[in-house]
Amino acid sequence: MSNRINNFDENYIYKILKKNFKKNNKNFLNNIGDDASILKLGNKKYAVSCDIQIENVHFSFKYSKPEEISYRAVIVAISDLLAMGARPEFFLNSLNIKKGTSSKIIDKIFYGFKKASRDFNLELIGGNVSSSKQFSLDLTVIGVMKKKYISRGSSVGQNIYITDNLGTASAGLKILKNKKKYEGLNVKKIIQSYIKPELNIHKLNKLISTNLIKSMIDVTDGLTIDLKRLIKYKDNSLGASIIWEKIPIERSLYKFFNQKTIENLVMNGGDDYKFLFTVDEKDKKVFESKIKSKKIKVHNIGNTDNTGVIKLIKSGMVKKIDSGGFLHRF
C-alpha cells in the first residue's frame, strides 16, 4: 500500500529533483533551482526558463483583459532570464484552451503576445495547443548571455538591494478583488502595477554593467520567500537583517491601507517583478559611486549575516520572518 503525502509544496518537488536527477552534462553550467538554466552550446551561453500561468491561480479573466494576461505572461517569463543577466530573445508558447472559449478571446491573447514581442524585442518560434478544463499559458523563454551569469546564492557580509517599490502589484490585485470598496478613488496606477508590471530593463542593464552584483533574483512571490531563496540557495546557514524603513513603498498605498496590511503586501504579496540583489561590503562604495554616475537609484535595505535567520527590523523592533510569501501547495 503506497503512502499518500498530503499538503506538500514546491520545496518537496525540488528535493525530488535534487535526489533523482544528477547533473551529468558539463554544458549545463548552473543547477536546478536557479531562476533559469544556463547552457553552453558551442561558443555561446544561453539562459532557458519556463513559466506557466493558470486561470484562477495566477490570473482571472474577471480582473484582466485577455491581451493583458498574455502580455503579463511574457513579463513573468522573461523576468527570470533578466535576473540571470541574460538578454531575452526567443519564446515558445503552449496554450491549454478551455472548451467554450471564443475565438475572439484567442485573437486577443495572441495580440498580447505580439505586443510583448515588439516591446521586448522577442521572437515567437513555436509552441503547442491543447484543449483543457482550465485555461493556461505555458511559456518557454530563451536568452543569450553577454557576460558571466548571475546566480542565486549569497555570502556573509553582503549588502542587500532592491531596484524599485515593493507591494504595489499585490495592492493592485487586492483592489481589483474589492472594486466597490475603492470605487471613485484614484487607484488606477496601483492596479496597473499588477496588470502590467514595469520591467525596467535599461536600469537593470546599467546595474549589471557595474560587474559588482554577486547574486540576484526577481521578486515574484514576496520579499520574505524570495530573499530566503536568494541567500540560502547555496548555504542554508546564512541569515539576513532587513530594515523596514529602507524598503521603497509607493506612498499612495498609505491612503488606502493600514500599516499591518501594507507590511503583508510588501513582505508576502508578490507579483512585483523587481530585482533583489547583493553586493559585497568591500565593493559597496565603488558600486554606489558607479550607479550614481549612471543616474540610477536602488535601495540598500539590509545585509546578510551568519545567523541562519531572516529578520525584519521595524521601528527598532526585531522579528523573525522565515516564513511567508506565495508558495505552491498541493
| 144-178 confidence digits (pLDDT tens) | 998 899 999 999 999 999 999 999 999 999 999 99
How confident is the model at residue 4, as a pLDDT?
54
Higher pLDDT, 119 or 329: 119
Do the beta carbons of residue 253 and residue 170 sit within 8 Å?
no
Is 48's pLDDT higher than 70?
yes
pLDDT, one tens digit per residue, over 51-63 is 999 999 999 999 9
Q: Which of 145, 176, 191 is the last residue of a domain?
A: 145
Whole-number percent of the chain with pLDDT over 90: 85
Q: What is the pLDDT of residue 295?
A: 94
Average pLDDT over residues 212-237: 94
- The CATH number for 169's domain is 3.90.650.10
Residues 197 and 138 in one domain: no
- The 8 Å CB, 24+ separation contacts for 109-113 are 109/66, 109/67, 109/69, 109/70, 109/137, 110/70, 111/67, 111/70, 112/66, 112/67, 112/68, 112/69, 112/70, 112/71, 112/72, 112/73, 112/74, 113/70, 113/71, 113/74
72-73-76 Cα angle (round to 5): 85
pLDDT bracket for residue 209 (50, 70, 90): very high
Rounded to an integer, the average pLDDT of 69-88 is: 98
Let me know whether 226 and 87 are in one domain.
no
Strand partners, 88: 143
Are 255 and 308 contained in the same domain? yes
Question: HEC profile for the chain?
Answer: CCCCCCCCEHHHHHHHHHHHCCCCCCCECCCCCCCCEEEEECCEEEEEEEEEEEECCCECCCCCCHHHHHHHHHHHHHHHHHHCCEEEEEEEEEEEEECCCCHHHHHHHHHHHHHHHHHCCCEEEEEEEEEECCCEEEEEEEEEECCCCCCCCCCCCEEEEECCCCCHHHHHHHHHHCHHHHCCCCCHHHHHHHHCCCCCHHHHHHHHCCCCEEEEEEECCCHHHHHHHHHCCCCCCCEEEEEHHHCCCCCCHHHHCCHHHHHHHHHHHCCCCEEEEEEEHHHHHHHHHHHHHCCCCCEEEEEEECCCCEEEEECCEEEECCCCCCCCEC
Same domain for 180 and 75? no
Closest CA to 249 of 266, 261, 264: 266
Average pLDDT over the chain, rounded to an integer: 93
Domain count, the chain: 2
The range of the structural domain enclosing residue 173 comes to 158-320
Residues 92 and 186 reside in one and the same domain: no
Residue 4 belongs to a domain: no
What pLDDT score was predicted for residue 321? 87
Q: Is residue 57 in a domain?
A: yes
In a domain, 327, yes or no: no
pLDDT band at 325, cuts 50/70/90? confident
pTM score, whole prediction = 0.93
Confidence of residue 7 (pLDDT cuts 50, 70, 90): low
What is the CATH classification number for the domain harbouring 24? Answer: 3.30.1330.10
**177 forms bridges with which residues in the sheet?**
none
125 and 167 co-located in one domain: no
Neighbour tally for 293: CB within 10 Å: 10
The dihedral formed by the CA atoms of 12, 14, 20 and 26, expressed in degrees to the nearest 10: -170
Do 164 and 311 belong together in one domain? yes
Residue 153 lies in a domain: no
Report the pLDDT value the prediction gives residue 5, as an integer from 0 to 100: 52
- Could you tell me if 278 and 176 lie in one domain? yes
Same domain, 115 and 47: yes
- Return the amino acid letter for 286: V
| Same domain, yes or no: 172 and 306 | yes
- The confidence band for 1, taking pLDDT boundaries of 50, 70 and 90, is very low
Looking at the fold, whether 73 and 188 belong to one and the same domain comes out as no
pLDDT at 8 over 80: no
Residue 1 covered by a domain: no
Q: Is residue 164 part of a domain?
A: yes
Last residue of a domain, one of 91, 113, 145: 145
Q: Which of 76, 111, 145 is the last residue of a domain?
A: 145
- The whole-number pLDDT of residue 136 equals 98
Do 18 and 162 sit in the same domain of this protein?
no
CB 208 within 8 A of CB 85: yes
Mean pLDDT within 196-212: 95
Domain presence at residue 329: no
In the chain, % of residues over pLDDT 70: 97
In a domain, 167, yes or no: yes
